Amino acid sequence: MQGYETSEHHMSAMAMVRHGLKCGIPIILGYLPVAITFGVLAQQAGLSLLELTLMSVFVYAGASQFMGVNMIAASVHSIEIIVATFVLNFRHFVMSLSFMNEARHYYGLPARFGLSLLLTDEAFAVSAIHKDEMKKRHSVYFYTTIFLSAYLSWIIGSLLGGVVGEIMPERLSQSMGIALYAMFIGLLIPSVKKNIKVGYIALIAMLINLIASQFMSEGWAIVVGTVLGGLTGVHFLKERP
Amino acid sequence: MILLIILGMALVTALPRVMPAMIVDKLIFPVWVNRWLEAIPYAALGALIFPAILSVKEGEPHVGLIGGLVALFLALFRLNIIIVVIGAILTVYLLSL
């Protein structure tokens, strides 16, 4: 499996960075307003600027950070906060396993470690849809740019929210709440047009997630939807190499 | 105390993320598991989109739904993903005027 396409896809490292930035723009657009809102809420919840920034640097997981500061504000026991965080973010294990199962053919442990540490729903979605880039030379620059631009926009956004407060008009930042969902749709549709069975997998996962969310927390429901939905791929993706 | 909570949250978030990177070399999967993992991105996209998109605006699920349909429509016409995202943002913005 090792080896790169050399002839037609000869992009320089710089071109790979630019390509990664282009693919990362929707994530940046989606993260900034959410991160600013996080900064504002975290401060209202009683976190200092240093604490909220450290949370974005070290935890770097949107939904669980919102949940975390809400629970801190409500004086919930720390163990309970940490367990809830684990549940909410466990889906990244499944995503990381999927991404790393491709990456192992091309990247060594250090690159894999760095990328997986910064894996979010959005960085994973963009990278997995563009997994064919892995075959190209310098592709590690492509993925690193996506992951780092997402990471930095999250940190800078939350810092901004903590320092200057809500700088965006409320209606605009609320409207931008659709950005990441629109990005997910925009990533999914081209794959569905190429292979309709990919669409079946996504629809089944949606349905399972909807049903599961009636019985369990959102975190587990997404895990169940992703794992069981993905399992249908064993059937649907059969004739591909 | 808050710093300890942050540290704990960081640990339980990082471990599931990096574990696959460390162990994936040692695992040999049968073909069907590889296909399963290959399907994960599409399943994850589905599970991430729905039903969460309905709560873009609290108490008004139609706002997220219409925004999503506009994104779907734009994506079907092979428009650039940035156009898809901006189109959906504008739609939700107009709906909340």
The shortest C-alpha distance from A209 to chain B (Å) reads 6
Q: Which of A82, A175, A186 sits opposite B96 (nearest CB)?
A: A175
Query: What does the pLDDT read at residue A54?
Result: 97
- Rounded distance between C-alpha atoms, residue A100 and residue A97, angstroms: 5
Q: Which of B40, B57, B68 sits opposite A94 (nearest CB)?
A: B40
* pLDDT class of A7 with cuts at 50, 70, 90: very low
pTM of this structure: 0.93
Q: Cβ contacts (< 8 Å) between B40 and chain A: which residues? A: 94-95, 97-98, 128, 226-227, 230, 233
A139-197 pLDDT, tens digit each: 999 999 999 999 999 999 999 999 988 788 888 888 999 999 999 999 999 999 999 99
* pLDDT class of A1 with cuts at 50, 70, 90: very low
B55-73 pLDDT, tens digit each: 999 899 999 999 999 999 9
Query: What does the pLDDT read at residue A9?
Result: 54
Query: 């995503």: which residue's tokens?
Result: A95
Average pLDDT over residues A76-91: 96
Residue A6 has pLDDT above 60, yes or no: no
| Residue type, position A236, single letter | F
Residue B97 has pLDDT above 80, yes or no: yes
* pLDDT class of A97 with cuts at 50, 70, 90: very high
* Contact between A229 and A204 (Cβ < 8 Å): yes
H helix or E strand, kind and range, residue A42: helix A13-44
Residue (of A223, A221, A226, A219) closest to A67 by Cα position: A219
Long-range contacts of A120-123, Cβ-Cβ distance < 8 Å, separation of 24 or more: A120/A60, A120/A61, A120/A62, A120/A92, A120/A150, A121/A91, A121/A92, A121/A95, A121/A180, A121/B44, A121/B48, A122/A27, A122/A30, A122/A31, A122/A150, A122/A180, A122/A183, A123/A27, A123/A147, A123/A150
Query: 């399907």: which residue's tokens?
Result: B39
State phi, psi for A136 to the nearest 5 degrees.
Answer: -85, 160
A203 CB-near residues (< 8 Å, 6+ apart):
B46
State phi, psi for A240 to the nearest 5 degrees.
Answer: -80, 155
A201-226 pLDDT, tens digit each: 999 999 999 999 999 999 999 999 99
Average pLDDT of chain A is: 93
Residue A2 has pLDDT above 60, yes or no: no
* pLDDT class of B47 with cuts at 50, 70, 90: very high
Tell me which chain A residue has its CA closest to the CA of residue B91. A175
The dihedral over CA atoms of A130, A131, A135, A137, expressed in degrees to the nearest 10, equals: 50
Average pLDDT over residues A30-45: 94
Q: Answer whether A205 sits within 8 Å of B2, measured CB to CB.
A: no
Average pLDDT of chain B is: 95
| Residue type, position A74, single letter | A
Distance of CA A63 to the CA centre of its chain: 11
Query: What does the pLDDT read at residue A240?
Result: 57
